[in-house]
Amino acid sequence: MIRFFKNLFVEHCPKCNKELETHKSNLLSSVVVKSCPEQHYQKEYHPAFETYIESDTVS
């Protein structure tokens, strides 16, 4: 559980190692989107499904 929170709040791009920026895409869905400032990497967290969706490209 501690590791889960660490991963959720401090993450870095696998390509350039910059800290990912966190965005709340939608208050209703509460989906959290993290993305590299250089657009290398994007990760979405869906609390309703307890699921991460990772992608190499930022949509």
Binding region for Zn ion (CB under 5 A): 13, 15-16, 36, 38, 40
Comparison of 33 and 36: residue with beta carbon closer to Zn ion = 36
SS3 string, the chain, reads: CHHHHHHHHCCECCCCCCECEEEEEECCCCEEEEECCCCCCEEEEECCCCEEEEECCCC
State the minimum distance, in angstroms, from the CB of residue 49 to Zn ion: 26
CB of 14 to Zn ion, least distance (A): 8
- Closer Cβ to Zn ion, 15 or 24, answer by number: 15
